[in-house]
Amino acid sequence: MRIHREHSMTNQHPSRRLFLAGLGAVGTTALLSGCVTAGSSSGKSSSGGGAVTLQSNLSAPQAKAAMEDVVAAYAKKGSGKASLNTVAAETFRTQLPTYLTSANPPDVYTWYPGSVADAYAKKDLLLDLGEVWSSPELKGYSKALNTLCTATSGKKVFVPTTYYWWGMFYRKSNFAKWGVQEPKSWDEFLDLCDKLKSKGIAPIGLGAGGNTAWVASAWFDYLDIRINGAVYHRELLAGKHRFDDPEVRKVFDRWAEVLPYVDPNGTAVAFQDATTSLLNGRSGMMLIGTFFADAAPKNALDDIDFFRFPIIDSKVPLAEEAPTDGYFASARTGRRDEVVDLMRYLATAEAQEIYIKGSSGTVLPTNPDAKDAGTPLVQKGRQHIEEAAEITQFFNRDSSDALQPTADTALTKFIAKPKSIGSILTDWQRDAEKIWNA
Amino acid sequence: MAVLTAPERTSPAPPSPRGGRARGPRRTPPMVLAFLLVPLLAEAVWVFWPALQGFYLAFTSWDGVSAPRFVGLGNFREMLHDEVFRTAAVDTVLWLVLFGGLSAVLGLAAALLLQQERRGVGFYRAALFLPVVFSLVATALVWQAIYQPDGVLNQLLQSFGLGSLRHAWLADQDTALYAVIVPALWRQVGYVMVLYLAGLKGIDPALYEAAKVDGAGRRQRFRYVTLPQLRSVNAVVLSVIIIDSLRSFDVVWSLTRGGPYHSSELLSTYMYSTAFQSLRLGYGSALAVVIFVLAFGVIASYLVRAFREAD
CATH of the domain at B249: 1.10.3720.10
Provide the pLDDT for residue A157.
92
pLDDT for residue A28 is more than 50: no
Q: What are phi and psi of A163, to 5 degrees?
A: -145, 165
State how far the Cα of B110 lies from the Cα of B104, in Å rounded to an integer: 10
B64 belongs to a structural domain: no
Q: Does B63 touch chain A (CB under 8 A)?
A: yes
Alpha helices in A238-332 (DSSP H): 246-258, 271-279, 298-301
pLDDT tens per residue, range B266-305: 888 899 888 887 788 888 999 999 988 887 887 788 778 7
Domain A166-321+394-436 bears CATH identifier 3.40.190.10: yes
Provide the pLDDT for residue A152.
87
Q: Does B3 touch chain A (CB under 8 A)?
A: no
pLDDT for residue A47 is more than 70: no
pTM of the model: 0.76
Provide the pLDDT for residue A218.
93
Question: Are A418 and B41 within 8 A, CB to CB?
Answer: no
Task: Check CB contact under 8 Å for B280 and A402.
Answer: yes
Domain A52-163+324-370 bears CATH identifier 3.40.50.620: no
ipTM value for the complex: 0.71
Give chain A positions within 8 Å (CB) of B83: 427
Nearest residue, CB atoms, B1 vs list A15, A35, A416: A15
Give the chain A residue nearest B240 (alpha carbons): A2
pLDDT for residue A25 is more than 60: no
Question: Are B230 and B109 within 8 A, CB to CB?
Answer: no
Task: Check CB contact under 8 Å for A30 and B12.
Answer: yes
pLDDT for residue B100 is more than 90: no
Task: Check CB contact under 8 Å for B148 and A273.
Answer: yes
pLDDT for residue A221 is more than 90: yes
Q: Does B153 touch chain A (CB under 8 A)?
A: no
Nearest residue, CB atoms, A412 vs list B52, B68, B260: B260
Which residue of A3, A37, A280, A436 to mutate against B (max B Cβ within 10 Å)?
A: A3
Task: Check CB contact under 8 Å for B170 and A98.
Answer: no
% pLDDT > 90, chain A: 24
pLDDT for residue A421 is more than 60: yes
Domain limits, chain A: 52-163+324-370, 166-321+394-436
Task: Check CB contact under 8 Å for A19 and B4.
Answer: yes
Provide the pLDDT for residue B224.
83
State how far the Cα of A60 lies from the Cα of B282, in Å rounded to an integer: 33
Q: Domain limits at B241?
A: 86-265
B132 belongs to a structural domain: yes
The answer for A52, left when phi > 0, alpha when psi is -120 to 50, beta otherwise, is beta
Nearest residue, CB atoms, A40 vs list B67, B168, B260: B67
Provide the pLDDT for residue A20.
41
pLDDT for residue A340 is more than 60: yes
pLDDT for residue A290 is more than 90: no
Provide the pLDDT for residue A94.
76
% pLDDT > 70, chain A: 88
% pLDDT > 70, chain B: 90
Kindly tell me the number of DSSP H helices and DSSP E strands found in chain A. 20, 12
Nearest residue, CB atoms, B10 vs list A22, A40, A97: A22
Task: Kindly indicate the confidence band of residue A223, based on its pLDDT and cuts at 50, 70 and 90.
Answer: very high
Q: Which tops the pLDDT comparison, A259 or B127?
A: A259
Question: Are A338 and A267 within 8 A, CB to CB?
Answer: no
B305 belongs to a structural domain: no
Provide the pLDDT for residue A49.
65
Give chain A positions within 8 Å (CB) of B37: 23
pLDDT tens per residue, range B183-218: 888 888 888 988 998 888 888 888 888 888 888 888
Task: Check CB contact under 8 Å for B277 and A267.
Answer: no
Give chain A positions within 8 Å (CB) of B7: 18, 22
Question: Are B256 and A267 within 8 A, CB to CB?
Answer: no
Residue B67: HSE in the Cβ half-sphere, 13 Å Cα cutoff = 8
Provide the pLDDT for residue B23.
53
pLDDT for residue A373 is more than 50: yes
Task: Kindly indicate the confidence band of residue A48, based on its pLDDT and cuts at 50, 70 and 90.
Answer: low
Tally of domains within chain B: 1
State how far the Cα of A74 lies from the Cα of A341, in Å rounded to an integer: 10
Task: Check CB contact under 8 Å for B259 and A120.
Answer: no
Task: Kindly indicate the confidence band of residue A91, based on its pLDDT and cuts at 50, 70 and 90.
Answer: confident
Task: Check CB contact under 8 Å for B1 and A401.
Answer: no
Provide the pLDDT for residue B230.
83
Report, as an integer, the average pLDDT of A264-270.
83
Question: Are A285 and B187 within 8 A, CB to CB?
Answer: no
B278 belongs to a structural domain: no
Report, as an integer, the average pLDDT of A365-385.
85
Question: Are A159 and A138 within 8 A, CB to CB?
Answer: yes
Give the chain A residue nearest B141 (alpha carbons): A210
Q: What are phi and psi of A304, to 5 degrees?
A: -85, 135
